[in-house]
Amino acid sequence: MEVDQVLARWRAQEEAVRSRLGAPGVAGDVVGRSSMEVFEAIFAGELPPPPIGDTLDFIPIHMAPGEAVLQGRPLHRHYNPLGTVHGGWFATLLDSAVGARSTPRCLGAKDSPRWN
C-alpha cells in the first residue's frame, strides 16, 4: 500500500470517528461501566471524549480489549523551540493509549483491578 493510500485511509477513519464524537468534556456517569462500555459510549456520542485530545489534537480511533488506537496530528503549537514536535505530545499520546488499553474497569465496577 502506498503512503498516499495509507494517509487517505487514516484521514477517512478520523473523519468518520469525529462525525460521531460529541464535544470534549469530563464524563460524569462512568461508575460501574466497563472500560469498553465507556469507549463505546464515547464513540456513540453519549459520553464526551477526553478534553486532552482536543488540546493536543488527537482522538481515539479504535478500542478493543487489550488494544487502543489513537490518531493525531501535531500542530505548530505543539513544537518546541528547536522546531520539532515537543516530546510531551508523544508522551501524552502514549500515556493515553496505554491507559486506555490497560484499564480493565472504571471505578466502582465489580471486577476493578486489585493491587496486592
- pLDDT, block means (10 residues), the chain with 116 residues: 92 92 84 84 90 91 86 93 95 88 58 44
CATH assignment of the domain containing 64: 3.10.129
pLDDT score for 66: 78
- For residue 55, tell me if it sits in a domain: yes
pLDDT score for 115: 41
Contact assessment for residue 69 and residue 96, using Cβ atoms and an 8 Å cutoff: no
- Within the chain, where are the H helices? 3-20, 35-43, 51-56, 87-102
Question: What residue numbers bound the domain in which 89 lies?
Answer: 3-102
- pTM of the full structure: 0.74
- For residue 93, tell me if it sits in a domain: yes
- For residue 111, tell me if it sits in a domain: no
- For residue 92, tell me if it sits in a domain: yes
pLDDT score for 15: 92
Q: Give the Cα separation of 3 and 97 in Å (integer).
A: 24
Per the structure, how many domains does the chain have? 1
- For residue 116, tell me if it sits in a domain: no
- For residue 108, tell me if it sits in a domain: no
pLDDT score for 113: 47
CA proximity to 40, closest of 66, 64, 69: 64
